[in-house]
Amino acid sequence: MADKSEGDEKDIAAKMEKMEVKGEEQKTVMGEMKKLVEALYDLRDTYFPANKEDKITTLKDQMKIGLDALQYVPLDELKTTAQRADFELLKGMMLDVLPVYNQQAEEHLVKSAKLNPSSIDAWLALGNCFTKKRELTSAKNCYNRGLEKGPNKRLLCDLSMVERMLAQEDETQNWEQLLADSIKHAKEAVDLEVTDGYSWYNYGNAHLTCFFLTGSRDFEKLSLSSKAYLQAQKDKKMKINPDLYYNYGTVNKYLENYERALFGFETAAVKDPGLRSTVTEEVDTIISTLDLIDGFLKRLVTDKNLSVIASGLEKINLEPPFRKATVMNLSQGLNEKVAVVGKVLVVATPEKAVQLYYILIDSDKNSFVVSLFGARADAIKVGDRLTLFNPVFRVIAFSWKNKIYQFKSIRLQFLEQFHVNEKRLSPEFESLPSFQAQHGP
């Protein structure tokens, strides 16, 4: 949290005092050193000041305390290979606590892994260091070396993460296999400990990345991602993670679960004030979209020309196996072998919105909203007739900050799902959204 730093600095300083008091007892000092590293990484993972540079400064200060403390470790008493490996590991981890690559950290972590190749912690730390260096294949090899010693949830999570990063850089067809491996390893981590929130968070990230890299068509990936993030939130340790809530907001923005999306973004900003400007932009975009839709729908209630506008829609014929329906005949969710015909009254897409929004009426003069993913803004214009096949229908109804939003909605996920003026759109109108999660990997 934003006010955590002072308490953590006192804790670390207290550990230093204890180390100085205990003097030359090598075993005790090494034990205290491990606690110092744990406190340093806890600070990294839980301290989120409004100014991100304050976090870097604090971590550097505490890292220096740790490195200075190494002088209390009597090197001549490190008799065993395992003891020397532990010393190299602790020093390497201290140097690697910052978000940028550190060459000295790599050198010490390489020494640790060579001295004790059976150490899971050494392979994990070295893999993390190579990830920062963007030597992703080397990082992957480190995680796999560690997993040779036995299953480990953190190794599996970080292996899953680096496989997603490799998939985003891969220019061959191998990226599909890398994504499949990423999801597989993320699931294995969850299976090792089903109550571990970090594993669920990583599993959600795997499905979210897969959604974008495979063309933003499989919304089941988003649903699985959202469910995984909800599971992660049950772990008290993850409740302080702002990226979990930001990504939860991102997933639900695409799923059009607006209330959940707003909750996720707002919660992320509370936990990390440094996200406030980014979150404000996300929230403002969602609210402006909803307000725009709400305003247009209210004005339509008094529009006396709807009968004229809707005329002729009932004459549009469909080919088997589709049967024509109006919005009032649809069921919640997917409506297979059904098609809705409507006319576009309004383009209701605000600037920076992820998807395109249109307000239509059907032949019974029922108004409804269509949200469209994966198409250019000029694909549909006011006055166009849309034929919507296998529509995914839902009623949006929730309140946010004392304002009620309620409307009927049909989601279109790809160009093949609709016709414009009884014709299919050409592929040139396709446009896929970019990945926008806080933690892309």
Residues in the chain: 441
pLDDT of 372 above 50: yes
**Worst-scoring range by mean pLDDT, 78-92, 108-122, 210-224, 256-270?**
210-224
pTM: 0.90
CATH code of domain 5-286: 1.25.40.10
Q: What's residue 133's pLDDT?
A: 98
Sorted by where each begins, the domain ranges of the chain are: 5-286, 304-429
- Asked whether the predicted pLDDT for residue 21 surpasses 50, the reply is no
Where are the extended beta strands (E) located within 138-250?
none
Closest Cα partner for 5 from 41, 42, 43? Answer: 43
Q: Do domains 5-286 and 304-429 have the same CATH topology?
A: no
pLDDT computed for residue 19 by the predictor: 45
Give just the sign of the alpha carbon dihedral 80, 83, 88, 89: positive
> What mean pLDDT do residues 88-116 have?
98
Q: Is the pLDDT of residue 201 over 50?
A: yes
pLDDT at 180 over 70: yes
- Between 11-15, 106-110, 387-391, the lowest mean confidence (pLDDT) is in 11-15
What is the chain's alpha carbon radius of gyration, rounded to the nearest angstrom? 27
The three-state secondary structure class of 350 is: coil
Report the alpha-carbon distance of residue 160 to residue 174 in Å, rounded.
15
Task: Say if domain 304-429 classifies as CATH 2.40.50.550.
Answer: yes
Q: Is 42 exposed, middle or buried (0-12, 13-18, 19+ CB in 10 A)?
A: middle
Q: Which helix (H) or strand (E) holds 281?
A: helix 276-300
When pLDDT is cut at 50, 70 and 90, the band that residue 13 belongs to is low
pLDDT digits (tens, 9 = 90+) for 312-358: 999 999 999 999 999 999 999 999 999 999 999 999 998 888 789 99
Query: What's the pLDDT band for 25 if we cut at 50, 70, 90?
Result: low
